[in-house]
């Protein structure tokens, strides 16, 4: 898929068309932040590897956000928030069998569904907390790291 993405130049095409669509719909700032975090969380449910998800999402969303005036470091921070809140509830989590084994030590009847439903409240709290933290960070305009402003100069 990645080779096809590179060969077809779908990444830049989707990035430019997506940025134009977002500009026309006047979607930026907080709605854009929340939307991308949720999108990254849903992709995490399907694909377990963080580097594979970033390899698929980065060629589209980094240029798209750059066209909209956001720094790539800011885009990656949003991706990491979306990736982190949904990790406990994704069936693709590599450590899920280990978690299930530990849970079975304390409750012999626990299954995969019980484990994921028990972790869902933590995911919801993580989503709300990290998203609110990111919105406050965005509104205050604090850089996301050294030479990593929120907006491109």
Cα of first residue to Cα of last residue in the chain, in angstroms, is 33
Phi, psi of 151 (to 5 degrees): -105, 145
Q: Is residue 145, in this structure, part of any structural domain at all?
A: no
Q: 50 lies in which domain range?
A: 2-140
Could you give phi then psi for residue 3, rounded to 5 degrees? -65, -40
Q: Is the predicted pLDDT of residue 51 greater than 90, yes or no?
A: no
Q: What is the mean pLDDT of residues 68-90?
A: 92
* 147 part of a folded domain: no
Residue 77 has pLDDT above 80, yes or no: yes
User: Residue 70 in 3-state DSSP?
Assistant: strand
55: confidence class by pLDDT, cuts 50, 70, 90: confident
Looking at residue 49, its pLDDT comes to 81
pLDDT at 26: 87
Place 48 in a pLDDT band, splitting at 50, 70 and 90.
Answer: confident
Number of domains forming the structure of the chain: 1
Inside any domain, residue 128: yes
Q: Which residues contact 35 (CB under 8 A, 6 or more apart)?
A: 27
**114 in any annotated domain:** yes
Kindly tell me if the per-residue pLDDT of 2 is higher than 90: no
Using CB atoms within 10 A of its CB, is residue 142 exposed (0-12), middle (13-18) or buried (19+)?
A: exposed
Is residue 95 included in any domain, yes or no?
yes
Mean pLDDT of 113-132: 94
Q: Is residue 108 part of a domain?
A: yes
Domain assignment present for residue 15? The answer is: yes
Q: Model-level pTM?
A: 0.89
149 located within any domain: no
């Amino acid at each position: 898929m990645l080779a096809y993405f590179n060969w077809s130049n779908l990444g830049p095409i989707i990035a430019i068309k997506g940025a134009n669509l977002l500009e026309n719909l006047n979607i930026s700032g907080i709605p854009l932040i929340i939307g991308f975090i949720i999108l990254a969380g849903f992709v995490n449910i399907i694909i377990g590897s963080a580097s594979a998800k970033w390899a698929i999402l980065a060629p589209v969303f980094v240029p798209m956000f750059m066209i909209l005036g956001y720094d790539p470091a800011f885009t990656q921070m949003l991706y990491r928030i979306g990736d982190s809140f949904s990790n406990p509830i994704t069936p693709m989590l590599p450590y899920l069998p280990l978690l299930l084994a530990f849970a079975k030590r304390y409750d012999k009847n626990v299954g995969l569904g019980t484990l994921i439903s028990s972790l869902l409240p933590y995911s919801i709290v993580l989503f709300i907390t990290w998203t609110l933290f990111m919105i406050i960070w965005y509104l205050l305009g604090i850089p996301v790291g050294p030479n990593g402003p929120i907006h491109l100069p």
